[in-house]
Amino acid sequence: MFDFKPNEALGKPELYRQLNEAADALTSAEPDAVANMANVAALIWEFVPELNWAGFYRMGGNASGGDELVLGPFNGRPACIRIPIGVGVCGAAAKTGETQLVEDVHAFPGHIACDTASRSEVVVPVMRDGKVIAVIDLDSPRPARFTQEDADGLEALARMLVDRI
Ligand code: SME
């Protein structure tokens, strides 16, 4: 129905510009957060090469009334459902509110191996009014797959999505 397949020769800034334009078009008129996260996870999967996982974790509550990341829409293998704040790469992004660019996940203290194929990872927080409401997580089987250009493109995506998810 939608054909957003990018040209594989695109440089990263242009790839993320096109990805974000497509994400904007798909989410701007839709109020349902799950539908929007599902379509954006699918777009990332289509646009960004060399991934084995791409999707969302949302800030949710745990049984003790504290905060915890809860699995949202994604593409890839079934993943850990709940991640405590501060644990692993996603938990670090949720705790600090800062993007985590990890060249070698095996060297990251507390990394959670949902898929043993993952070798590098980027996690970008989605911030609303100074608080983390979700994170966008991309994993790759290639070490050092992600650079600052990926982080920049995904941070722009996160800013655009903040009131749509
Ligand atoms: N590796 C992540 C967990 C989520 S999965 O990669 C989908 C982490 O350490 O937070």
- The domain spanning residue 25 has which CATH number? 3.30.450.40
Percent of the chain scoring above 90 in pLDDT: 86
DSSP letters spanning 80-102? -SEEETTSHHHHHHHHH-S-EEE
Which residues make beta-bridge pairs with 74? 55
Q: Is the minimum distance from the CB of 139 to ligand 1 under 6 angstroms?
A: yes
> What's the total number of domains in the chain?
1
* Residue 78 counted as domain residue: yes
- Ligand 1 probe mutation, 80, 102, 115, most atoms within 8 A of CB: 80
* Residue 85 counted as domain residue: yes
- Ligand 1 probe mutation, 53, 57, 112, most atoms within 8 A of CB: 112
Which pLDDT value is given to residue 39? 97
* Residue 119 counted as domain residue: yes
Amino acid at the residue 81 = I
Q: Is the minimum distance from the CB of 111 to ligand 1 under 6 angstroms?
A: yes
* Residue 125 counted as domain residue: yes
Which pLDDT value is given to residue 66? 82
* Residue 1 counted as domain residue: no
Banded model confidence at residue 1, pLDDT cuts 50, 70, 90: low
Which pLDDT value is given to residue 61? 84
User: Does the pLDDT of residue 8 top 80, yes or no?
Assistant: no
pLDDT in tens, 17-76: 999 999 999 999 999 999 999 999 999 999 999 999 999 999 998 888 789 999 999 999
* Residue 5 counted as domain residue: no
d(CA 19, CA 154): 9
CA nearest 90: which of 80, 79, 100? 100
Joined together, the tokens standing for residue 65 give: 């009334």
The residue ranges of DSSP E strands in the chain, in sequence order, are 53-61, 67-76, 82-84, 100-102, 120-128, 131-140
Q: Is the minimum distance from the CB of 80 to ligand 1 under 6 angstroms?
A: yes
* Residue 4 counted as domain residue: no
Whose CA is closest to atom 1 on ligand 1? 112
Q: What is the mean pLDDT of residues 126-139?
A: 97
Which one has a higher pLDDT value, 135 or 7? 135
Which pLDDT value is given to residue 65? 78
Q: Is the minimum distance from the CB of 117 to ligand 1 under 6 angstroms?
A: no
d(CA 163, CA 146): 26
164 φ, ψ to 5°? Answer: -120, 0
Amino acid at the residue 30 = E
* Residue 24 counted as domain residue: yes
Q: What is the mean pLDDT of residues 91-98?
A: 98
- 53: containing domain: 12-161
